[in-house]
Structure 1
Amino acid sequence: MKRSTALTILLAMAAAVVVYSFAAEKEVSVTGEVIDSACYIKMGAKGAGHAECATNCAKAGIPLAILEDKTDKVWMVASDKDAESGNVKLDQYIAKKVTVKGKTFERGGQRILAITSVQPAS
């Protein structure tokens, strides 16, 4: 009896882990401005007047991000390809509005959007 109860609990826990891992990965579409994360978070810098600085920051390795139009939330980004920075997909759109599609991942209270496509927003 104890053995079957332990096995049932173990299977339930394994199923919960599988369900959670699928729920944590969602397809989304986000529209907003491409910003440099450091200057925006520290100073609120964004827009065309900050494009040159944001470009220099991105070239220096500062991560680009998306400032979502609807919510004013900052989406940190990654590429959907291993060992490729999310900056590669966004650097031509700095200080411009884009619509980005991808999968979201969340761990340890942090959220990231793995970009599968980027298009200028209309």
Structure 2
Amino acid sequence: MKPISFVRLVLVLSLVFSGFAGMPALAQPEHESKSVTVQGEVLDLACYLGEGAQGAEHAECAVKCLKAGQPMGLKASDGKVYLLVSSHEDDKPFKQAMDLGGQQVSVTGSLFEKDGMKAIEVASVKKL
């Protein structure tokens, strides 16, 4: 009877450890991104969504609001609005974009989309 118990133990352990073989697949990112470059105006989304504020006449306010922590967006030349987010590895380009509120820029980064929202993780920003 002991040999049967040992065989059962080996089978159970084999099943348990074979389950770990699939674990790396679970660690893959849930959402894939693609690299994009989009041109448009850096927006302070609080003022833009609440009051329609944008453009050069709103630039000073936009910079203040962005530096105070309001969400930042990019209104592309085709009229689409993207949420701009910071990279966990390098937040310098995102912070540079804050200084360009109300101005025309070119943003390069990774485009993510979830539940209808599109966001660009800012890798570089250049004033046009």
Output the TM-score relative to the length of structure 2. 0.68
Deviation at 1:59, TM superposition (A): 2.3
**What does residue 97 of structure 2 align with?**
90
Matching of residues 23-62 of structure 1 within 5 Å: 24-62=32-70
In the alignment of these two chains, the number of paired residues is 103
Over the aligned positions, Cα root-mean-square deviation in angstroms equals 2.6
Deviation at 1:82, TM superposition (A): 4.6
* Structure 1 residues 40 and 99, CA gap change in structure 2 (3 angstroms): same
**What does residue 111 of structure 2 align with?**
104
Deviation at 1:55, TM superposition (A): 1.9
2:44–2:66 Cα contact (<8 Å) kept: yes
**What does residue 65 of structure 1 align with?**
73
Q: Which runs of 5+ in 1 are unaligned?
A: 1-13
Deviation at 1:101, TM superposition (A): 0.4
Q: What amino acid maps onto 1:117 in structure 2?
A: S
Partners of 2:65 and 2:94 in 1: CA distance: 11
Q: Percent identity?
A: 36
Output the TM-score relative to the length of structure 1. 0.71
Q: Once the two structures are superposed, what CA deviation does each residue of 1:69-114 show, in whole Å capped at 9, x if it has no partner?
A: 1x21111011223594975131221111100000111223322100
Secondary structure at the counterpart of residue 66 of structure 1: strand
